[in-house]
Amino acid sequence: MRQMNQIPLAEPAPPPGLPAPQPEQMARSNALLGVLGHQIDAGQGFLRFDHFMRTLLYTPGLGYYSGPAAVFGGSGDFVTAPQLSPIFASCLTQQLRRWLAALPTEEQCITEFGAGDGTLAGQLLAAMGHEIGSYDIVELSANLQARQQATIAQLAPQHLTKVRWLAELPEQLNGVVFGNELLDAMPVRLFELRTHQDQVQILERGVGIERGRLCWQTQTAEASFDSAVRDQLRYATQGANLAQKFGSGFSSEYPEEALGWVASIALRLQRGVLLLIDYGFGASEFYLPQRSGGTLMCHYRHHAHTDPLILVGLQDVTSHVDFSAVTQMGLKHGLTLLGYTTQARFLMNNRLGEIASDFLEQCNDFKDRITHTQGLQKLVSEAEMGELFKVLALAKGDIFDNAGFISGDRTNRL
């Protein structure tokens, strides 16, 4: 029996090299620690990591995405593709147009999940707002919803009336449903392997409290989680002996929430395309012995590190996407695979060259041109987002155009 009533007292100071939070940020973080302390107590000293991550990111008013902090952009913690360059949205527009053109007018709708600060929505609406019937946004954070509205009012005021913020998933979806860096922000369950000769035990990793501080805890995985993890690892290794392949101490993530989300979208999508853009790999690259600590990462004011137990509510916590698991779940629920490639290839297949040269030609200010060239470089460079970020399209219904995936096909890695 674990000890109860050990509410953590205070956030430890951030490690050297990370900027110190402001007093009001510390106060918010300590309030969130209080919430976590109660949840850990309620779980007899153990809080599953996915539940911990949901509290960190989405507690109203206190969570990372639900609090008042500016998470995106130079003054925040990280930047995403639409903030790097409007060329990202211009290329995406090419593909969206072709998909929507294959649908009857009343189904020419876009649903964006997790629209962040609204930059991409604003850019897409400015470019093609007159070609779509509606632009729906599903966003968990009320604070971000308000920011999205302000951004769209600035970038595409004439189309603001087409935008609706949905409080819950509609029963039926048509058109294009998409998320840029959505799945990486969904809570993940964590597991760890213990091996004894050829036998493997699956442990679930969670969070507890020790001497007034958050600490890692493990417990034996319940049967359904145990078998989901084993299935995923067997798929990734094509049936290899897990003890020999990974060894004791190997730990990684299992994207239960993301998979549940994909299943529910697949079931609701009547006709159209589900488009997901994110960092990640197919299962055989995701679950590698060399990646023995998994892919969980934290971002705090443009510093990346791996400790989610510090700076609670003040830093992003994210994991890479297992695109094989996502694809399998979509196929299981009636979707077909339209394409899977790297972000660089997807953008190039969508006229990146012409769009970029037109854009830069119209850019009169020398400094602006440098900034846009650097943004473009980040989007496609193999060392930045070009290779690590992938684009996956799954479809329901008619045969949809897959020109955005015409070269650089990676479906054999899924």
Ligand X SMILES: C[S@@+](CC[C@H](N)C(=O)[O-])C[C@H]1O[C@@H](n2cnc3c(N)ncnc32)[C@H](O)[C@@H]1O
Binding residues for ligand X (CB under 6 A): 65, 72, 80, 82, 113-116, 120, 138-141, 144, 180-182, 185-186, 261
User: In angstroms, what is the minimal distance from the CB of 395 to ligand X?
Assistant: 21
User: In angstroms, what is the minimal distance from the CB of 218 to ligand X?
Assistant: 26
Residue 47 or 182 with smaller CB distance to ligand X = 182
Residue 155 or 203 with smaller CB distance to ligand X = 155
For 298, the token pair is: 């934290």
Residue 60 or 157 with smaller CB distance to ligand X = 60
Residue 114 or 129 with smaller CB distance to ligand X = 114
Under 8 Å between Cβ of 306 and 209: no
Rg of the chain (C-alpha set): 22
Residue 144 or 310 with smaller CB distance to ligand X = 144
User: In angstroms, what is the minimal distance from the CB of 169 to ligand X?
Assistant: 8
Residue 38 or 268 with smaller CB distance to ligand X = 268
Assign 3-class secondary structure to 147-172. Answer: HHHHHHHHHCHHHHHHEEEECCCCCC
Q: In 3D, which of 183, 335, 182 has the Cα closest to residue 269?
A: 335
Q: Is 301 helix (H, G, I), strand (E, B) or coil?
A: coil
User: In angstroms, what is the minimal distance from the CB of 248 to ligand X?
Assistant: 33
User: In angstroms, what is the minimal distance from the CB of 85 to ligand X?
Assistant: 12
Under 8 Å between Cβ of 194 and 248: yes
Angle, CA of 37, 254 and 402, to the nearest 5°: 130
For 24, the token pair is: 């009001």
Question: Which residue number places its CB atom closest to ligand X?
Answer: 114
β pairing state of 297-300 and 303-305: antiparallel
CB atoms within 10 A of CB 112: 24
User: In angstroms, what is the minimal distance from the CB of 261 to ligand X?
Assistant: 6
User: In angstroms, what is the minimal distance from the CB of 113 to ligand X?
Assistant: 4
User: In angstroms, what is the minimal distance from the CB of 227 to ligand X?
Assistant: 25
Distance CA 405, CA 392 (A): 9
Q: How does DSSP classify residue 407?
A: S
Residue 1 or 167 with smaller CB distance to ligand X = 167
Distance CA 327, CA 280 (A): 13
The strand pairing partners of 112, in sequence order, are 137, 178
Look at phi and psi of residue 344 and say left if phi exceeds 0, alpha if psi is from -120 to 50, else beta: alpha
Residue 141 or 195 with smaller CB distance to ligand X = 141
* β strands within 198-268, DSSP E: 199-210, 213-220, 251-254
Distance CA 278, CA 366 (A): 31
